[in-house]
Amino acid sequence: MTATRVAPAEFPRLRGNDARRVIATLGSLAGPAESGGSVPAWLRPEQIRPFHQVMAALERHGAAFLALPVGTGKSFIALAAARAAGHAAANVVGPAVLEAQWLALGRRLGVGVSFVSNDRISRGRSLPGRGFVIVDECHHFRHPGTRRYRALQPAMAGRAVLLLSATPIVNQPADLAAQLALAFRDDALAPAGLTSLAEGLAGPDLPAAVESLLIGSIRQTGFPELRATTAPDWGTLDARLAPVVDTIDRLRLSREAPISALLRSSLFRALASSPAALLASIRRYRRLLDHAARARRAGHPVHRATIRSVIDPAPEQLVMWELLDPSRIASDLALADRAPLERLDAQVSRWMAEGDGKTALLRTILADRRPTVVFAGSVATVHHLRRVMCGTGTAWVTGDGAGIGSQRIGRAIVLRWFGPQREERPGIPWLLLASDVAAEGLDLQGAARAIHYDIPWTAVRLGQRDGRIVRLGSTHREAEVIRLPVPALIEDRLGLEAAVERKAALGAKLRHRMDVTGSSPGGAASTNGWATFESPPGEEAGGFVAGYRLERGGSAAGSLVIANTARAGWSEDPAVVARLLGGPNEPAVDEEPDVTPILEALESKLVERLRHLNGSLLARRRSPAARSARRIGTEAGFITARLQAIAIFRPAAGSTTLPG
């Protein structure tokens, strides 16, 4: 494929403030696209750019994925987008605990909200009308095989959809692929070279192009300063822990290794939370053995659902269920464990009655009576702490209720005590004990401290818990997060902390890439031309960045930003582009350089890139009218590229001779 070069006279050099517009133009092309339009008065200044990016994505794809960090006001931006898109109301899908909060926010902002919980979607509840849809905490829809996913996905057809999640990846890139499939076409990133979202996100690595669908960068202001600490290993403070661990080690559980591993890990996970959680798990397992004994006598199998009822609280993290043969479970369970389990029950009951070291450690931390939320994954742990931390200053909330002390009170009232309008006066509780039902989406800025009493299976859950207090609207200058680690004695057998760290790495990598992509300077300014700049630190050898707008069939299809430096060569890596555009960007004053070699090099690279994007079709159907460095491949259905701006970074020696 050949192309006619753009003559320098047709592509002007810009200086001064016009030169700075080149950087802004390239920044806008490098990150998610932005649209213009009016902005609702309720948005904070730092939320305006993400709002414009959401609107641009809705215009291009009919969908957007707002993946800003926890606590940055995604719900405010979402309702602003619904209003700006011409909808007087929005259909919100999310965890049931968030319903009151969404309805209250809709009333406050004057946007109608119809809320349908994930559970109601699972039970067949349909979305009303054909209006705007917001899927909050959409990482709950990361498994296409679940009933809720199968029910929701068809309802998304023909609707404008906004997905919200600060934590798009829980375990693997396929989590993100499933969420995107709710709202985006599978070929949404074809102009960027990713022909299929499902195939591109099926592997262990994240394709570079995926960040253009995720709006995840924001300049965070108004947040309390975070101070994170790790408490001592409570296992060293409690002499009763080691004998309990030894007893669990000696249980037979099953002749089948997968079943035995599942059951033993569930017992250790419960123990990592509290003796109360372990006691509840022991008693569930004893009931399972009784059931298995009856099933064996009757010749019936023990179904997977029965086994799963023993695993608490996150069976979806245990991925080998389909490997188990339900016809063999009843015969493989070690019914001889019934007597050792009775002795373990008595052992743990005495431990609880005498007091455990972990509870004593918590009492020490809470001695200052600072407003605090204590998170525990096990409901049994929450109720255990409710009993031992009794007093008028202690409130609690779980999936099946809320209250203060032994008195049940409406969940909304309890959560309001720890919300942004918290009042510091006598009678208002200062301690909230919460299961993970309160870990997502809720505003608990009234608390100045969050304590991870136990560690969940994923870093996502840890981040969500932290985000309840580290968020906009906090009245505290500092927010403290304390993590009670898994005792070494249990970690050696469970590997929970190590698993969390592994899963955190992928999510952190995506967050870093979104930050890099979004850090490029952007804005409403747009220009057509080139300019020279002093090289930023780290790129003293010079280079250039060129930006193209992509179109397909006359409609916007994305952008292409290419960098060339002596250090990295040709690159479309967002980190390389951000490093160049994120420097001081001082316009260079020098002799009139010859831009022709750069245009020639770009012409060759662009033709190569478009051939790759358009495949053999473009190679076969070249036309003379399509041979332009500004627009190549004008045939219907082809991806075309329009050269928009070039920033040339002058080497330290002052020469503008750059690598081609």
pLDDT cut 70: percent of the chain above it? 82
Contact (CB, 8 A) for 387 and 352: no
* CA pair distance 470, 295, nearest whole angstrom: 50
* CA pair distance 489, 483, nearest whole angstrom: 17
| pLDDT at residue number 401 | 86
Q: What angle do CA 465, 471, 475 make, to 5 degrees?
A: 115
Whole-angstrom CA distances from 372 to 414, 421, 466 are 13, 15, 12
Tokens describing residue 204: 């262990």
| pLDDT at residue number 344 | 94
Tokens describing residue 388: 């031992």
Q: Which residues pair with 132 in a beta bridge?
A: 90
Position 163 pLDDT exceeds 90: yes
Position 110 pLDDT exceeds 70: yes
- β-pairing, 372-375 with 89-94? unpaired
* CA pair distance 562, 548, nearest whole angstrom: 9
| pLDDT at residue number 212 | 76
Average pLDDT over every residue of 249-256: 86
Q: For residue 94, which of 5, 164, 193 has the smallest C-alpha distance?
A: 164
Give residue 81's pLDDT band: very low, low, confident or very high (50, 70, 90). very high
Tokens describing residue 435: 């299961």
Q: For residue 23, which of 510, 598, 588 has the smallest C-alpha distance?
A: 588
Contact (CB, 8 A) for 177 and 153: no
| pLDDT at residue number 439 | 65
Residue 200 has phi, psi (to 5 degrees) of: -65, -25
Instruction: Fill in the DSSP letter of residue 628.
Output: B
| pLDDT at residue number 632 | 38
Q: For residue 48, which of 212, 195, 221 has the smallest C-alpha distance?
A: 221
* CA pair distance 632, 560, nearest whole angstrom: 13
* CA pair distance 593, 192, nearest whole angstrom: 32
Average pLDDT over every residue of 122-151: 88
Contact (CB, 8 A) for 142 and 178: yes
Give residue 362's pLDDT band: very low, low, confident or very high (50, 70, 90). very high
| Sheet containing strand 372-375, strands side by side | 225-230, 478-483, 449-452, 372-375, 431-434, 394-398, 401-404, 407-408
* CA pair distance 35, 55, nearest whole angstrom: 6
Residue 369 has phi, psi (to 5 degrees) of: 55, 35
State in Å, rounded, how far the first CA of the chain is from the last one: 19
**Residue carrying structure tokens 């009951």:** 349
Q: Residue type at 281?
A: S
- Does residue 254 sit in helix, strand or coil? strand
Residues 6+ apart with CB under 8 A from 340: 247, 250, 251
Average pLDDT, the chain: 80
Least confident of 59-68, 393-402, 462-471: 462-471
* CA pair distance 84, 53, nearest whole angstrom: 13
pLDDT cut 90: percent of the chain above it? 23
Give residue 1's pLDDT band: very low, low, confident or very high (50, 70, 90). very low
How many alpha carbons fall within 13 Å on the CB side of residue 70?
23
Position 368 pLDDT exceeds 60: yes
Least confident of 17-31, 122-136, 204-218, 482-496: 204-218
Contact (CB, 8 A) for 279 and 343: no
Position 316 pLDDT exceeds 60: no
Residues 6+ apart with CB under 8 A from 480: 227, 228, 229, 370, 448, 449, 450
How many alpha carbons fall within 13 Å on the CB side of residue 655?
5
